[in-house]
Structure 1
């Protein structure tokens, strides 16, 4: 972190905002605050090791000095000089050891003060007390964007409830802080239990068709996101790429965003109910279908892969990073998401992730939880200006457009920020540099809802009243036309 006052100036160093990186605002990674905390502790531990060695050297010097006492009568002058020289050397070692001990104490104190400040600011924000008058840094980057407002609004739902009950603001803030942020996962599950909303409950998802080919692929973050856009044009499709990775054969799974229409109602696994499955049920059924698709594509147990997801697809992609059954079969190394609410999903250790979010895209804030700041997890907030589309093309807002995220991914690849350099290098280590790859599109379908009043015998792992999946007709696939499987248009 940069300092307003340089070391050695005689003044206490004060942190400043990191230098701007164009339209990118970067959190996490090797340059992130949490990793810097870890580095401070590692530095203090290293200093402790040096101090221990200096203590041993100091004791050894004192032992040599005492051993010289017996030889002093043989030559008083030279013996005395030797004793004095060894004694002074031991004192110098002691002074260095004491200085290093002091530095280690200061390093640990600095870490405690940073963590206290971060915890204090987080508590004030949860209590609704933010701004310069409280000493929080919310104004460091200007006014909060739509994403931050939605994220805070969802997280502060308990705060709003206690205010609705008429409690005073300070009491309401304390009560909300103690109750914690909104549990979106629990809320989605409870919502799916409500009358008339049974369609939100997960139902089995299976592979019903495939189409293979080969072509040149762009495996940069921007190229992979543009593939997600192309895949999303065919309802219910995912794409699996077989590539020559850094350590041999590797795989890339591309999962599209939310799709409405194009298939019989309720059968597209990426419709609105897919969001509920991702946020409330950890993508259990979609994960099973992706595992099936990987096996059919030829992926073998233990092979490395990366997963790319846009919007809803990013939720499913991140859920793979914590699914123990999936990780026991495949070696997931990297997840790339764009415009996805994934703050509440914690991947298993060793899995890197890069999340692109626009400050004026409300979708990434819909789960009410900010992405964690860790060494392996990097969040990039895009701050570029947006053109307002015509009303018929507004969709979820201009900030959520995938091409805008692809342009942001190009800026990520061009950045020299240490966190982004390490993150993009981790992706390249898995997928390689690009070129010709085997491309397979898989068509996924969710089991349709049973007809009202239908009663069927339950099959394996199925509940009562749920009919078995219907086999596809020969050659059946998505109702929409397909495009070539090479470079997306």
Structure 2
């Protein structure tokens, strides 16, 4: 992890090329691969030593023979002998160096394994502390509320030091142990016996989302449905149907509209902010015509738009969020289709995207969940060549994005929405996480406003803009990936040049309850 102050806002950055925490298996594999190289170098050095002895004996015999031209041949032999001697020394040194590197790799594997064990031990200790804290409240009797208030004050102080996000993650992971402790010492003892391993955080976020979704299925709050998609005419983008908007309508309302977008992470992520301004349930599809004649596609997703009911007609609702979080377990629920993913699929196909053309997806909050879920779905990746996703304020840790898909993940230390995946994002070469430590501003009062400002997409766009001149290796790697996607050099920061002009279409989806009607064959 590194810190980058950008333009005055503090950042913590994890993951990315140049700063990768390798897994134990990768370190051990590297050690196994390096070892034979060292052995080969040592064998080469031994073979060269034999050749060197033969050459030395030959030169001595040549001088003793007294043959005509022996002196000239002798000097040539001595030159070859010197070359062989130098090669033998280099091979021997290389063999020793590689062998030493292999030993260091093996030692690193041991240290990494110890560090992993220490991390698990810390998680177990935190879980036990939560259990004991609950027991303390229970054992205090009538003074239990006072003990609870003291614990609450300690939690508040920890949140002020480290941010609400990490504190919320701890509460989600350790909450069951604490609640069990409230039932008394015997319940705590039973919990210890039943959960003696106190395993790490794992993918508890998926389990929690699956549990909520099963309840919605059982209660009937969520009903299986299907997608209905339409292209939104340009005149309806920012106005009610029929009202239009000066300067926005095209001669053909269904033709794409030329739109200028910023070429950096902030400009690309701003497309998700645009998506909030279109009719509810809309997804934006931008076609980028590259200088080399190829095309690329950028899909922009808004976050959750409808909180009025669990299962609304808008695919960007609570049911949609749960579909995204549990996309890898879709077969276990009544709803077999991830509606937002199907909306992206149909919108890209309608816009003319081909399977071989590069695709980028941006999303905020729930939209970030769906971006990661699509990048983790083999079927979606078989239809569309997703190269990169840019997400903000999204709990996407438990979605196994496919190797090779680049992820730029913006979070804030007080954004508790990002804690709903129960842990930190992956620390890998492909996944770069930027955590901003910006406050909500001097006028922000209270936890509610702090959380609201932490999750605000406009503030995340400011974070992205502040990082455009960062020297962090992970950010520079993202900069290169963005430049390659856009078909231009990424020199000069994430912006990599002036604004881009894209051809934009907007599609609106509806989640309609009931099975999809079968198409009837036309008479004749």
**Bucket of the pairwise TM-score, normalised by the shorter protein:** 0.7 to 0.9
Query: Displacement of 1:263 after TM fit?
Result: 10
Question: How far apart in 2 are the matches of 1:181 and 1:306?
Answer: 28
Q: Structure 2-normalised TM-score?
A: 0.70
Equivalent residue number for residue 198 of structure 2: 176
Query: Displacement of 1:35 after TM fit?
Result: 5.2
1:438 to 503, 510, 521: 503
Deviations 1:217-252 (A, max 9, x none): 223211222221221133211111111247611110
CA 1:86 to 1:381, structure 2 compared with 1: closer, same or farther past 3 Å?
closer
Query: Displacement of 1:331 after TM fit?
Result: 0.7
Equivalent residue number for residue 284 of structure 2: 239
Deviations 1:84-113 (A, max 9, x none): 979976874575245314421343134214
1:56 to 34, 41, 44: 44
User: Given that residues 202 and 281 in structure 1 are in contact (C-alpha distance below 8 angstroms), is that contact kept between their aligned partners in structure 2?
Assistant: no
Equivalent residue number for residue 146 of structure 1: 164
CA 1:182 to 1:98, structure 2 compared with 1: closer, same or farther past 3 Å?
closer
Equivalent residue number for residue 428 of structure 1: 483
More divergent stretch after superposition (347-356 vs 204-213)? 204-213
Equivalent residue number for residue 219 of structure 1: 263
Equivalent residue number for residue 199 of structure 1: 221
**Number of residue pairs aligned between Structure 1 and Structure 2:** 426
Alignment of 1:408-427 (within 5 A): 408-427=463-482
Equivalent residue number for residue 13 of structure 1: none
2:325 to 271, 274, 279: 279
Question: How far apart in 2 are the matches of 1:294 and 1:86?
Answer: 63
Equivalent residue number for residue 477 of structure 1: none
User: Given that residues 27 and 106 in structure 2 are in contact (C-alpha distance below 8 angstroms), is that contact kept between their aligned partners in structure 1?
Assistant: no
Give unmatched runs, 5+ long, in structure 2.
66-70, 128-158, 234-255, 329-336, 488-496, 520-524
Deviations 1:127-181 (A, max 9, x none): 1349xxxxxxxxxx99432111222333345644665631289768743217x64
Q: Structure 1-normalised TM-score?
A: 0.75
Q: Name the SS for the 1:440 alignment partner.
A: strand
User: Given that residues 40 and 108 in structure 1 are in contact (C-alpha distance below 8 angstroms), is that contact kept between their aligned partners in structure 2?
Assistant: yes
Alignment of 1:74-153 (within 5 A): 75=63, 92-93=89-90, 96-97=93-94, 99-129=96-126, 143-153=161-171
1:353 to 403, 407, 414: 407
Equivalent residue number for residue 401 of structure 1: 456
Question: How far apart in 1 are the matches of 2:468 and 2:480?
Answer: 10
User: Given that residues 313 and 510 in structure 2 are in contact (C-alpha distance below 8 angstroms), is that contact kept between their aligned partners in structure 1?
Assistant: yes
CA 1:64 to 1:441, structure 2 compared with 1: closer, same or farther past 3 Å?
same
CA 1:307 to 1:73, structure 2 compared with 1: closer, same or farther past 3 Å?
closer
More divergent stretch after superposition (433-442 vs 325-334)? 433-442
User: Given that residues 210 and 326 in structure 2 are in contact (C-alpha distance below 8 angstroms), is that contact kept between their aligned partners in structure 1?
Assistant: yes
Q: Name the SS for the 2:221 alignment partner.
A: helix
User: Given that residues 209 and 326 in structure 2 are in contact (C-alpha distance below 8 angstroms), is that contact kept between their aligned partners in structure 1?
Assistant: yes
Question: How far apart in 1 are the matches of 2:310 and 2:420?
Answer: 27
User: Given that residues 32 and 373 in structure 1 are in contact (C-alpha distance below 8 angstroms), is that contact kept between their aligned partners in structure 2?
Assistant: no
Question: How far apart in 2 are the matches of 1:89 and 1:235?
Answer: 74
User: Given that residues 236 and 445 in structure 1 are in contact (C-alpha distance below 8 angstroms), is that contact kept between their aligned partners in structure 2?
Assistant: yes
Greater helix proportion: 2
2:301 to 241, 244, 255: 255
CA 1:122 to 1:426, structure 2 compared with 1: closer, same or farther past 3 Å?
same
Equivalent residue number for residue 135 of structure 1: none
Question: How far apart in 1 are the matches of 2:471 and 2:450?
Answer: 33
CA 1:171 to 1:29, structure 2 compared with 1: closer, same or farther past 3 Å?
farther
Query: Displacement of 1:46 after TM fit?
Result: 6.0
Equivalent residue number for residue 189 of structure 1: 210
CA 1:237 to 1:220, structure 2 compared with 1: closer, same or farther past 3 Å?
same
Question: How far apart in 2 are the matches of 1:190 and 1:71?
Answer: 83
Equivalent residue number for residue 298 of structure 1: 352
2:18 to 31, 40, 45: 31
User: Given that residues 282 and 508 in structure 2 are in contact (C-alpha distance below 8 angstroms), is that contact kept between their aligned partners in structure 1?
Assistant: yes
Question: How far apart in 2 are the matches of 1:264 and 1:63?
Answer: 80
Question: How far apart in 1 are the matches of 2:346 and 2:399?
Answer: 23
Give unmatched runs, 5+ long, in structure 1.
1-16, 131-140, 451-457, 462-467, 469-489
The structure that has the greater radius of gyration is: 2
More divergent stretch after superposition (422-431 vs 398-407)? 422-431
1:328 to 382, 385, 388: 382
Deviations 1:446-475 (A, max 9, x none): 114x7xxxxxxx5569xxxxxx9xxxxxxx
Q: Name the SS for the 2:404 alignment partner.
A: coil
Query: Displacement of 1:29 after TM fit?
Result: 0.6
User: Given that residues 192 and 201 in structure 1 are in contact (C-alpha distance below 8 angstroms), is that contact kept between their aligned partners in structure 2?
Assistant: no
